[in-house]
Homo-oligomer: A and B are copies of this chain.
Amino acid sequence: MRVSLKDVAERAGVSIKTVSNVVNKYPHVTPAMRERVQRAIDELGYQPNVTARHLRKGRTGIIALAVPELGNPYFAELAGAVIDAAADHDLTVLLDHTRGEREREVLVSQGFRARVIDGLILSPLELEVEDLRGRDGDDVPLVLLGERQYDLPYDHIAIDNVAAARVAVRHLIGRGRSTIAYLGGRTDSANRPAHLRMKGWREELTEAGIPAPDSLVGRVGGWDRQDGAEAMARMLDSGVRPDAVFAYNDLVAIGAMRVLHECGLRVPWDVAVIGFDDIAEGRFGAVTLTTISPDKQSIARLAVESLLRSLEGTESPGGHEIAAEFRLVERESTLGRR
């Protein structure tokens, strides 16, 4: 039998209303009364019915998070951070992965489960601006994560990819490298993170007077370890031998390092490598990975708070660009063993 408010009230010898006030943390309860009720709660093992509390406000207490791929540790770590940030507000997270397929992203963004969620945090890969324009009204608040820019009235949380890429490339230049490849080129449209990071790579090299020829851009078919391995192998096979690699993300970097290792090239002495995302895996290889670290906890917190502002109606509809912090984390793949 579930312990009810009534049971707690009887044990504490107070009214149900008083127990409810304590549970809901209303301010007008004396400390003595609060302690008396809390003791009864502890003794009976009462758990407040969060669902009912949300329902009274006309909410479900559920928000949704849609990410491209849980198998990518960056998104798994980000999802964990969102779940924690949501729990701080008694919100439960409904999680879906879209596989980065436009069709599934459209389905999610069109609010196909609008009846059971209060809000949606969406990290799109392939979604186009027209897909979002077709959204079924604004009844379910939406926050966008990641680097694609849509110019639509939804809050958008991302780090400055061009600036972050320039920090990465500047670090490689500072380590004396001059043939710096970028692994992550795609034939996509221009407003995607892979292009923004390539833009930063090119800008920083140009400003330093270092060539940035297309032969140093490794095309990738996806963003996983295998894609990085294939791009690195193709570049080496074509006779291009960089002394440094800036990879689109840590997984691509890890795949590239595997191929460098197989070819007998030593990281960082022959080729320095820097990634992007700061996933835990990068801290433990035979060569630990230097990376750009976006502040995932901060991204998660900002996203949940943006949804809550929309739900409380405390501000006009979104459309704010919210910048998340990032930092360079220097490890063995550019510094060597210390």
Residues of A that sit less than 8 Å from B by CB = 1-2, 47, 49-52, 55, 60, 62, 69-71, 73, 76-77, 79-80, 83, 92-97, 107, 110, 112-113, 115-116, 136, 224-225, 229, 254-255, 257-258, 261, 280-281, 283-287
Contact = CB atoms under 8 A, between A and B. Distances in A.
Contacts of A255: 284
A255 B284 CA distance: 6
Contact of A287 (B49, B60, B80, B286): B286
B97 A94 contact: no
Contact residues of A: prevailing secondary structure? mixed
A70 B77 contact: yes
Contacts of A107: 47
Nearest to A261: B286
B83 A96 contact: yes
B70 A83 contact: yes
A55 B115 CA distance: 10
Contact of A94 (B1, B49, B95, B261): B95
A97 B76 CA distance: 11
A136 B286 CA distance: 49
A101 B258 CA distance: 36
Contact of A280 (B94, B115, B225): B225
B51 A115 contact: yes
Contacts of A2: 110, 136
Contacts of A93: 94-96
A286 B262 CA distance: 8
B280 A71 contact: yes
A83 B110 contact: no
Contacts of A97: 80, 83
Most-contacted residue by chain B among A2, A76, A93, A224 (CB, 10 A): A76
